[in-house]
Amino acid sequence: MSDFLPVTKIPRTGLPEYALVCGDPRRAQRIAALLDNHREIGSNREYVTYRGQWHGVDLTVSSHGVGGPGAICMFEELAQAGSKTIIRVGTCGGLAPEVEDGDLVIATGTVREDGVSDQLVPVSYPALSTPEVVIALQESAQAVGHAWHRGIVWTKAMFFPGVVESGYSIYVKAGIIAVEMELSALLVMAGLRGVRAGGILVSDGNPVKEPDAEYNPHRDIVEEAVGKSIEVALGAIERLSRSAPVQPNLARPFAFR
């Protein structure tokens, strides 16, 4: 048997309890550069993984690519290798009118249209962030002082629209505050594995407020907010590491294959 897991090429065992994940390998590198003694420990396709320390806390940073079906491969192998707390540091589109470009969104849960979790669990199975992760992210966001919002996020598999109606209006009426592409896959996997999980997202546009605006996530306001989201996520990890250990949930280890 290989010492590395097959999809992500990360070590099969021995990873730290804490992990940050993001879609872009360059963002993973950006986060890792902030850590002490950081080093690359795995690379395959879109999956790049680093290990280091933040204020004495050992953690992993991994990229998972775009979309739930691919991202869940990273989430699952992190859990297999020892990760017990996983926070997604990503981007989103705002849906609530108060979510401005560059604002942070802390997800309490997600609408599951990720293209993969419906093949793992019944449609009635919830995708919920772990409460202590939400609280740690909220406290860290308050300390950073950047604009932030908290609420339910829509995870969907489609990026470029087709002929089917997108469904934005329904979810806006339902109070969904943002839309992204991977978080519900993480939350479902976490529920099955008994892992703590959550997400901190940067709004890089609001298709409800500006439906005709050209999508451009590479603006300064977004890049600056990404830095703030990383700061919030690292602060949350530090807070969680100082808190009393929580009783793990009763989910049994589950093999997707």
Catalytic residue IDs: 204
Question: Whole domain around residue 90: which residue ranges?
Answer: 18-242
Tally of structural domains, the chain:
1
Q: Tell which residue, 10, 83, 72, 18, has the closest CA to residue 234.
A: 18
152 assigned to some structural domain: yes
204 assigned to some structural domain: yes
Q: Over the stretch 35-55, which tens digit does the pLDDT of each residue have?
A: 999 999 999 999 999 999 999
Question: Could you tell me the pLDDT band of residue 256, with boundaries at 50, 70 and 90?
Answer: very low
Q: Tell which residue, 203, 21, 60, 237, has the closest CA to residue 133.
A: 237
CA-CA-CA-CA dihedral for 74, 80, 85, 86, to nearest 10: 0
Indicate which CATH number applies to the domain containing 153.
3.40.50.1580
| 2 has a pLDDT exceeding 90 | no
pTM: 0.94
